[in-house]
């Protein structure tokens, strides 16, 4: 086991993939010699050559069009969109081409070798064009998988699973944790099953659910709640699409309460889908209304970032509201 931050873990997963598949390619804006804007691909061009790790023009639609073609050819295509906010010009290529390639060909062709990495979320004072969390836009699209890690160990294992999965996967990386989150990570290859949530902490009074960078927020809130005699079950969803309804429903059946937290705006965020499904599955077990602690329905602010992002105190207030209902 080596001590790594999330960037090192992601780099390790990419390194293993490049060594494993001679046709695998990493491409995106500034991912070559520069190593990407966050340095996630540092050293890989020197190791594997400019023909396999290379910069693209500043055109996200072009990046994804090329990625679809490369993946359709059978090569592992490891595309980077520099910020998740920049993914919208590529939206058509992802939802109308990547997601539908297998279906429209009757399973004759596919782009299952496609993995799209992109940093999402706030925490770096990036303002409205470098802080968004667009996972819900893509969760409405059959044919894709969507994965979000919370720490270096999860990042490496989930990224390796995403790369090996036989479907196109969008891998959202919480940029606030790139260097802030560190931990022990195996240097050898390993994978973590996609589509399976993880019960991080067991509890009896209320279920807290989040993903990515919001996990440390709800863990902090759970710790504060425990000091007040409230036992929280903390769950990391990990995969947005498909999402693990069974694990969440089993937890809510036990606790009778659920709080969902995410950085994206509350209206039509993925938390809404979770709430609708769990109230249907667990209606007779609920002791209080399901609550959401999310971003606000405004463009992501620069000066008021701390007020916008859900924090531990907001989650703690929701826990008390749920328990005292």
Bridge partner list, 295:
265
Cβ contact 251:207 at 8 Å? yes
Catalytic residue among 8, 29, 60, 273: 60
Pairing of strands 145-147, 239-241: antiparallel
Give me 87's structure tokens. Answer: 């993914």
Rounded CA separation 195/217 (Å): 22
What residues contact residue 240 under an 8 Å CB cut-off, 6+ apart?
A: 135, 139, 146, 147, 148, 211, 270
CB 249 within 8 A of CB 280: no
- Which residue is catalytic, options 130, 135, 219, 273? 130
Q: Which of 29, 146, 132 is nearest to 79 (CA)?
A: 29
By CB atoms closer than 10 A (0-12, 13-18, 19+), residue 230 is buried
How far is CA 173 from each of CA 70, 190, 276, rounded to the nearest angstrom? Answer: 23, 18, 26
Our answer to whether residue 60 is catalytic in this structure is yes
Q: How many CB atoms lie within 10 A of CB 14?
A: 26
- Residues designated as active site: 60, 130
């Amino acid at each position: 086991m080596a001590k790594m931050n999330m960037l090192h873990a992601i780099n390790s997963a990419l390194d293993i993939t490049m060594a494993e598949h001679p046709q695998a390619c990493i491409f995106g804006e500034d991912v070559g010699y520069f190593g990407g804007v966050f340095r996630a691909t540092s050293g890989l061009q020197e190791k594997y050559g400019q023909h396999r790790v290379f910069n693209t023009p500043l055109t996200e639609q072009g990046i994804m069009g090329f990625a679809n073609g490369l993946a359709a050819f059978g090569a592992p295509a490891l595309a980077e969109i520099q910020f998740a906010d920049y993914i919208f010009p590529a939206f058509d290529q992802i939802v109308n081409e990547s997601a539908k390639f297998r279906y429209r060909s009757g399973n004759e062709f596919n782009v299952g070798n496609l993995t799209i990495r992109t940093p999402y979320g706030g925490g770096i004072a990036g303002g409205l064009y470098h802080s968004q969390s667009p996972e819900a836009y893509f969760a409405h699209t059959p044919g894709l998988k969507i994965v979000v890690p919370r720490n270096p160990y999860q990042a490496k294992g989930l990224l390796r699973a995403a790369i090996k999965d036989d479907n196109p996967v969008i891998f959202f990386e919480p940029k606030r944790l790139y260097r802030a989150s560190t931990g022990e990570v195996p240097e050898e290859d390993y994978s973590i099953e996609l589509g399976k949530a993880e019960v991080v902490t067991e509890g009896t009074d209320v279920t807290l659910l989040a993903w990515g960078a919001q996990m440390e927020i709800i863990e902090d809130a759970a710790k504060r709640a425990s000091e007040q005699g409230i036992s929280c079950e903390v769950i990391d969803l990990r995969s947005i699409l498909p999402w693990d309804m069974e694990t969440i429903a089993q937890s809510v059946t036990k606790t009778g309460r659920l709080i969902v937290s995410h950085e994206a705006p509350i209206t039509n965020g993925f938390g809404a889908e979770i709430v609708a499904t769990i109230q249907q599955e667990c209606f007779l077990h609920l002791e209080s209304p399901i609550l959401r602690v999310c971003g606000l329905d405004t463009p992501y602010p620069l000066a008021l970032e701390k007020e916008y992002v859900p924090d531990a105190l907001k989650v703690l207030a929701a826990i008390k509201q749920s328990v005292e209902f």
